[in-house]
Structure 1
Amino acid sequence: MQNKTLVPSTIRNTVVGALSVLFISTGCINTDDVDPFVDGSTQKGLNVTVTEPIDRDYSDIKQDGTIKMITRYSSNTYFLHQGIEWGFEYELVRKFAQEHDLALEVVVVGPNENPYDLLNSGMGDLIAANYTATPERKKYIKFTRPYNLVDQVLVFSDGVEDPPETIEKVAERDIPITVRRNSSYYYRLQSLRDQGINLVTRQVPNTKDTESLLFEISNNTHSATVADDNIFNASNRYMQGLVKGPTIAKNDTIAWAIRKNANDLETELNRFLYKHFRFGNEGEDPKRSTFLNILRKRYFESGQQIAEYYNPEMSSRGSGVISPYDDLIKEVADSAGVDWLLVSSIAAQETKFNPKSKSWAGAVGLMQVMPRFSEVSNEEDLYDVETNIREGVRIIKEHLNHYSYMDSTNKWSFALATYNAGPGHVADARRLAIDQNKNPNEWENVEAALLKLMQRKYYKDARYGFTRGIETVRYVKEIKNRYNTYESILTMSESDEEGTVPGVMGLFN
């Protein structure tokens, strides 16, 4: 099963977050009882509007063949590097999806969207975002068994002289601690105040996430904030000017959030997590699987590689927003009248932008062009990036022309399926759809037929025989949804240049 990252085809151009640390909002809100939003209004609590979860459990997810992960865009949850998906949460959920033969949709929370509402309305199936299990959150969702334990630590700007070593001394010096009203940090600070520690707290709009606040701390915009120790460790690898302060909470449990009525999904997720994280005996560290330890080392403990991929201080424009080949792909695709982001999505799916790639079937180069279908006579020439892109675009353009009588959604679905499986297998699936009195010009009917062509009773009469239809179906879905992710990131990047990008909905730690 291939690696899978999908974004719903109805995504709303909402991929923001990690890069939002570039978009520093101004000002703090000095109130302890309200929940400020970008528009200046105030609401109490988590601002949940969908309180009754839809009826969607594991059996429905299996039937769809897709599990939907709600997350935020950050260096430890989910992010893109040269068009390829990374992130601790992403890789962990993807592992579950692979073991259960499911595709993975990534739903990134956008401005003025609420992850609880997305979850309970069915836009996603689990929230995976370094989520702390808090009583406030449990009013609307439930949590799986944990997969991590973290400590909450104060983080000071290096502009704070002689940083206090205890929370009591922080209170004595009236050092303001900037957090979001919806965060678990806010509730911990409130608990400390209830214990008589007179802390000064400041709240920022919910367009902030922890990484954004840490970035502002590093620039001396604020004096102090709170972060989970793993997020601090990851951020400290590429941000300058952060000073770790005292621990204010130990062993918070990090878990995935799911709908309260998703009992079977909870069972499956808990079985999976039990294999990777178990509590040890009293006084012992938790027991983690090799896979989980690899992820922890990659994203929270090791060298600079992942942090540098994500680093918001590093401009990606020199090599392109999506990949190092943005300008070239734009030029070739535009000249052919083909959407360049879809071409980029194909290249990411085929080779992860590796121009030297060669498949077991003999497809070569960035776009995995089959030499026997190419107009380029010398196979070695297909390893040239520009030549390969031109050939790939020419081939996908031919497929688009073949289905030009269809609406745009169906046309692209059929063209992508043909690029992946070849025209023969797609034609077989369309004939099978006709045999079953279905419209062969509707992708959902042909999609179902492709899956049937994996069964002998159907493929034995097909002109081109057996095909791994599930791979083609997922190929189409992944590329279309990756396109939506790329489109959102491109929109965000263009807005950044204009200085108009809002931050991410700050409901995560």
Structure 2
Amino acid sequence: WVSFSNGYMPIQQYVIVHRNNRSIRCPEDLAGKTVHIREGTSYEERLNLLKNKGIDLEINLHDDLPTEELIRQVAEGKIEVTIADSNIALLNQRYYPQAVLACPISEQEFLGWAVNRNARNLLYRINCFFKTIKENGKFNEIYNKYYANIDTFDYVDLRAYHRRLKTRLPNYKEIIMEAADYHGFDWRLIAAQMYQESHFNPDAQSHSGAKGLMQLTSPTASSLGVENILNPEQNINAGVQHLKSLYDYFGKAKGLNRLFIALAAYNVGQGHILDAQNIAREMNLDPNKWSSLSITLPLLTYHKYYKKATYGYCRGTQPIEYINKIMIYYDILKRQGIEFKTYAKPNKEKKVDKKIRIAQQMD
């Protein structure tokens, strides 16, 4: 027997089918279907309730396959239907965009932690833990790391990304890995940022005049010694160097906070980040926490705030979306297990700061 903590995340159980499957719109449409689920899950109980209501479906139990694997099999057309909690389904949709949520089969429920029914002190401490991290913003920080923006990508976006990982990314793999290794970054982070910037298009140009794979402005490129801004090697090396300089500049922030603040500065400029940090101080928020700047950056779109800011108006929601998308692209790269046989080693005369191995901070 167990007791459950207070709920911390709302979920629903959903029917998962291939995106081309238009035959299931509601639970009643499961009649005549074989539904594959992992044995011992709450999905089995829910499906049996549907059977008791007269829906003639067949349940195929798997004792050795996790829900994520069954979602993959749906995406690949190996099975027709599975069931998954909404958070699991949405998270896996970035890896398997062909698998979609067809319809809910349960009311909204809440995830909680299960403990021994006699462990009352432990249960109390768990509830206090969740209360604390929700109040101090840590819960949102963790939630955003894994779930932010997961439903903002449509099928075309995700399919294009998966395709370009195979067709475009290999053209720049050695350059990315050498530059990332020299500056201490995870190469997959740089690749994810590059895709957000240019979709791996070396000739990309923004409306503001930023150019190339890493979308460098002419002043930034010149300051970094770039002779040909559209040259992939020069553009990538300069882009990573620029990110590293921002990472160094915001050294008071720690861990992922430092990385996210550097990425945000890359996106909207160092000055706007400084303005957002000043607002954070005025609001008694920690200016070196990304969760604080996620609150204050959007304020710079309002005249009340940007009229007093040193660097003026800022599209403050843009860097938040920028980072969320980069982290999703990064996560997909990790999940796909894309590894390159060639790993360029840094020049022995150059020092690599081992303290900023972003892979260790992000995993």
- TM-score interval for Structure 1 and Structure 2 normalised by the shorter chain: 0.5 to 0.7
1:159-198 alpha-carbon deviations (Å, 9 max, x no partner): xxxxxxxxxxxxxxxxxx99754678x969x97xx99xxx
For residues 16-31 of structure 1, the aligned pairs below 5 Å read none
Structure 2 counterpart SS, 1:374 = helix
Task: Tell whether 2:212 aligns with 1:212.
Answer: no
Which residue number in structure 2 is paired with residue 64 of structure 1? none
Structure 1 CA distance, aligned partners of 2:75 and 2:296? 51
Task: Tell whether 2:318 aligns with 1:471.
Answer: yes
Which residue number in structure 2 is paired with residue 371 of structure 1? 218
Contact persistence 2:38–2:62 (CA under 8 A): yes
Q: CA deviation at 1:370?
A: 0.9
Q: Number of residues paired by the alignment? A: 265
Which of structures 1 and 2 has the larger relative contact order (alpha carbons within 8 angstroms, sep 6+)? Answer: 1
Task: Tell whether 2:246 aligns with 1:399.
Answer: yes
Task: Tell whether 2:236 aligns with 1:389.
Answer: yes
Structure 2 CA distance, aligned partners of 1:178 and 1:435? 54
Structure 2 CA distance, aligned partners of 1:147 and 1:366? 46
1:430 to 253, 266, 277: 277
Q: CA deviation at 1:396?
A: 0.4
Q: CA deviation at 1:452?
A: 1.7
In the superposition, relative to structure 1, how do residues 129 and 372 fare at CA in structure 2: closer, same or farther (>3 Å)?
farther
Task: Tell whether 2:80 aligns with 1:227.
Answer: yes
Structure 2 CA distance, aligned partners of 1:468 and 1:421? 8
Q: CA deviation at 1:125?
A: 4.8
Task: Tell whether 2:292 aligns with 1:445.
Answer: yes
Which residue number in structure 2 is paired with residue 130 of structure 1? 16
For residues 205-354 of structure 1, the aligned pairs below 5 Å read 205-207=64-66, 208-209=69-70, 212=73, 227-228=80-81, 254-255=103-104, 259-260=108-109, 325-354=172-201
Structure 2 CA distance, aligned partners of 1:347 and 1:334? 16
In the superposition, relative to structure 1, how do residues 406 and 216 fare at CA in structure 2: closer, same or farther (>3 Å)?
closer
Structure 1 counterpart SS, 2:207 = coil
- Aligned residue identity for 1:227: E
- Aligned residue identity for 2:274: A
In the superposition, relative to structure 1, how do residues 318 and 427 fare at CA in structure 2: closer, same or farther (>3 Å)?
closer
Structure 1 CA distance, aligned partners of 2:286 and 2:74? 53
In the superposition, relative to structure 1, how do residues 214 and 405 fare at CA in structure 2: closer, same or farther (>3 Å)?
closer
Contact persistence 1:319–1:326 (CA under 8 A): no
In the superposition, relative to structure 1, how do residues 397 and 129 fare at CA in structure 2: closer, same or farther (>3 Å)?
farther
1:87-135 alpha-carbon deviations (Å, 9 max, x no partner): xxxxxxxxxxxxxxxxxxxxxxxxxxxxxxxxxx41x655666269xxx
Q: CA deviation at 1:213?
A: 8.2
Structure 2 CA distance, aligned partners of 1:359 and 1:148? 49
- Aligned residue identity for 2:285: K
Contact persistence 1:53–1:260 (CA under 8 A): no
Q: Name the structure with the higher helix share.
A: 2
Structure 2 counterpart SS, 1:209 = helix
Q: CA deviation at 1:399?
A: 0.5
Q: CA deviation at 1:364?
A: 1.0
Structure 1 CA distance, aligned partners of 2:285 and 2:36? 59
1:411 to 241, 255, 258: 258
Structure 1 unpaired stretches of 5+: 1-48, 55-120, 133-144, 155-176, 218-225, 230-252, 263-293, 300-304, 311-315, 495-509
Task: Tell whether 2:222 aligns with 1:361.
Answer: no
Contact persistence 1:351–1:368 (CA under 8 A): yes
Contact persistence 2:201–2:212 (CA under 8 A): yes
Which residue number in structure 2 is paired with residue 31 of structure 1? none
Structure 2 unpaired stretches of 5+: 19-24, 83-101, 112-153, 341-363
Structure 2 counterpart SS, 1:130 = strand
Structure 1 counterpart SS, 2:188 = helix
Q: TM-score, normalised by structure 1?
A: 0.41
Structure 1 counterpart SS, 2:80 = strand
Structure 2 counterpart SS, 1:348 = helix
Structure 1 CA distance, aligned partners of 2:77 and 2:30? 22
In the superposition, relative to structure 1, how do residues 254 and 395 fare at CA in structure 2: closer, same or farther (>3 Å)?
same
- Aligned residue identity for 2:257: N
Structure 2 CA distance, aligned partners of 1:256 and 1:475? 34
In the superposition, relative to structure 1, how do residues 179 and 475 fare at CA in structure 2: closer, same or farther (>3 Å)?
closer
Structure 1 counterpart SS, 2:175 = helix
Contact persistence 2:180–2:187 (CA under 8 A): yes
Which residue number in structure 2 is paired with residue 15 of structure 1? none
Structure 2 counterpart SS, 1:360 = coil
Q: TM-score, normalised by structure 2?
A: 0.56
Larger Rg: 1
Structure 1 CA distance, aligned partners of 2:104 and 2:337? 31
In the superposition, relative to structure 1, how do residues 203 and 334 fare at CA in structure 2: closer, same or farther (>3 Å)?
closer
1:217-265 alpha-carbon deviations (Å, 9 max, x no partner): 7xxxxxxxx6259xxxxxxxxxxxxxxxxxxxxxxx7348662479xxx
Contact persistence 2:226–2:238 (CA under 8 A): no
Structure 2 counterpart SS, 1:254 = strand
Moved more, 368-377 or 406-415: 368-377
